[in-house]
Amino acid sequence: GPGVTLFSEFGKYLVGSINCSNLSVHSGIRISKFKQRTPPSVPPLQRDKVYVSFIISDGDNLPVLTVSNFPQLWKDPVRGKLPLGWTISPSACMLIPDIVDYYYSTATDQDRFLGAVSGIGYAYPDSYGKRFREQDRRRVFDEFLDQTRIYMERMDLEEIWIMGVSRDDLIGRYAERIPFLKAIFPDYGRRVIDYDEATYPTSRNVPVFHAVTGWSEGISRGEQIEDLVSQIRAITPSERPAFMHLFVLNWFADLRMLREILNRLGPEYIAVRPDHLAVLYRQEMKRRRILIRVPTSIYGIENHGLLFPIFLRNVTDSQMEVWIEISGGLDRPSLEPDRALLSPEKIFRLTVSGIPSGDEIHIEIKAPFGTIRRAIEYHQIAEGEIAKPFPSVGSLQFLRRFEAEKLAHRSGREETDPDALGGKVWSARRGKTEGGYIVFGPYSPIDAGDYLALFRLKRTGKGRGLVAVIDTCVGGGKPITASREIRVEELPLGEFRSFPLLFHHPGGGVETRVFWPGNASLAVDDITLWKVTRRKR
């Protein structure tokens, strides 16, 4: 929250200890060495499987480790029958060493501990040291990582779960400053769009596995299981093998849920320990030689130019030259550059632009060992659906499409709608739903710059006057960067309309909101976000 952001900006971190009693006793116990159980053999890599690791959250919080939650999960008879990643604070070896020793000595071959957010203490790397002079920020963050390295080594932790970090250079810095680090598992719940954004290598080819699952409040245990299975299947790529981080919110989970999720996914999905996930992914990287990050799907607006990046990474030990072609789906295509000399471990960015001409955009990467092909789904928003006035923009770089039912809400409910792009909407009913912000979020970090947000709404009942206020703002509500009032006469009954907001964002978390005053029933389908790369004059 904002408190964590604030103390992170001043180069501080928190070790959660509220309601963790007798720390003066626990911290006085001396244990010379911590050693996790010798890991079992890594299972053989099967190239038709999807490998997943369950990562259980909130082990940075000392009372969670001692009384609040982990002790109950630890006693579950399912433990030991399912591979699990347990997060734990590197500071625990100083403050509760006897508790750490208990967990380590009673762990099974299926239990693996990894460092908890976001290192020696709770902090947001994106914000860390921001109140310092520009030239001092790297040093301040490195000091945090150096402390993290010392205490991870003492606790025999070789993987880490981090959050509040979106910048690739900061994620990579963990691998650079912690030489024994084997894998990084970012995010407190899902914030990525697709698999290519979720799983990739960073510095030293250390694997990064972003969370691909998010947990919902206010639903039953059965609904939670069903929703998680749907999320996992939806983000699973068509290409095999695949490797994914399944985030487990400790407060809502029990181990039988995780076993049920795995059973429902079926034999194509194999659960492994987090350290084994990293080993298997490295084996696959060695086979592929080049890793390609492209969006799996893109949304654009009719008659508007589209722009998107491609990232190439050489995961071999030798330099390699490749050529890139747009083989279909774009009129007046442009590719800058169209060839790349890939150095080992370096990321190379290319920019693709043009006018979409079909439902798929086809890319070919020609390397010395063969041709790699990628297809990107293209979804077009009709100009006739967009409310006037439409702002003057140039090419649009698609960033995110946020389904309304997946964002945060103060009131309303999820409903099925066959005209919604995903088949579901978030609905507010006149006379039944409490007025207020019915949709808000997602607080995703974005760079400073100009952006276009498109809110897809439908009026589902009669009414008068103001039907909604839409706005964009910096995460947390201030400052508001753009807003628009929408009246009943602008939103025909039973028809979706998309309302644009052009705004400048200063950088950091972005929030989009729909305020509903209660005058007419309303359905919200989604909010789509683009970066404006070239403004029309």
Of these ranges, 145-159, 288-302, 441-455, the one predicted with the greatest mean pLDDT is 145-159
Exposed/middle/buried for 272, CB within 10 Å: 0-12, 13-18, 19+?
Answer: buried
Point out which residues pair with 530 in neighbouring strands.
398, 452
pLDDT at position 490: 96
User: 537 falls in which pLDDT band (50, 70, 90)?
Assistant: very low
pLDDT at position 534: 65
CATH topology of domain 2-13+46-287: TIM Barrel (3.20.20)
What is d(CA 215, CA 247) in angstroms, rounded to the nearest whole number?
9
pLDDT at 433 over 50: yes
> In the predicted model, what is the mean pLDDT of residues 447-459?
96
Q: What percent of the chain has pLDDT over 70?
A: 99
> In the predicted model, what is the mean pLDDT of residues 404-423?
92
> Which residue, 308, 275, 271, is CA-closest to 292?
308
- Does an H or E element contain 102, and which? helix 97-106
pLDDT at 115 over 70: yes
Asked if 157 contacts 39 with a C-beta cutoff of 8 angstroms, the reply is: no
pLDDT at position 174: 98
pLDDT at position 536: 52
- Only one residue has tokens 């490797």, namely 243
- Only one residue has tokens 């996992």, namely 232
What is d(CA 123, CA 174) in angstroms, rounded to the nearest whole number?
14
pLDDT at position 535: 54
In this structure, of 125-139, 270-284, 343-357, 490-504, the range with the lowest mean pLDDT score is 343-357
In this structure, of 93-97, 149-153, 296-300, 493-497, the range with the lowest mean pLDDT score is 296-300
In this structure, of 123-127, 192-196, 207-211, 249-253, the range with the lowest mean pLDDT score is 192-196
Asked if 208 contacts 165 with a C-beta cutoff of 8 angstroms, the reply is: no
- Does an H or E element contain 347, and which? strand 347-356
pLDDT at position 507: 86
Q: What's the token pair of residue 267?
A: 């034999």
> In the predicted model, what is the mean pLDDT of residues 86-106?
97
Point out which residues pair with 340 in neighbouring strands.
322
Contacts of 19 (CB under 8 A, 6+ apart): 63, 67, 68
pLDDT digits (tens, 9 = 90+) for 273-290: 999 999 999 999 999 999
pLDDT digits (tens, 9 = 90+) for 1-26: 778 999 999 999 999 998 888 999 99
Q: Is the peptide bond before 39 cis (omega within 30 degrees of 0)?
A: no
What is d(CA 199, CA 293) in angstroms, rounded to the nearest whole number?
9
Is domain 289-381 annotated with CATH 2.60.40.1510?
no
Q: Where are the domains of the chain?
A: 2-13+46-287, 289-381, 385-532
pLDDT at 57 over 90: yes
pLDDT at position 442: 85
pLDDT digits (tens, 9 = 90+) for 358-406: 999 999 999 999 999 999 999 999 999 999 999 988 789 999 899 999 8
Contacts of 334 (CB under 8 A, 6+ apart): 351, 352, 353, 354
pLDDT at 89 over 70: yes
Strands of 461-507 (E only): list them: 466-474, 480-487, 496-505
pLDDT at position 508: 79
Residue 135 burial (CB count, 10 A) = 7
pLDDT at 96 over 60: yes
Is domain 385-532 annotated with CATH 3.40.50.720?
no
> In the predicted model, what is the mean pLDDT of residues 426-453?
93
Contacts of 527 (CB under 8 A, 6+ apart): 401, 402, 404, 407, 439, 453, 454, 455, 456, 512
User: 217 falls in which pLDDT band (50, 70, 90)?
Assistant: confident
Asked if 170 contacts 108 with a C-beta cutoff of 8 angstroms, the reply is: no
Point out which residues pair with 211 in neighbouring strands.
245
What mean pLDDT is reported for the chain?
Answer: 94
pLDDT at 502 over 80: yes
> In the predicted model, what is the mean pLDDT of residues 225-242?
94
pTM of the model: 0.84
Contacts of 491 (CB under 8 A, 6+ apart): 457, 458, 459, 467, 468, 497
Residue 476 burial (CB count, 10 A) = 13
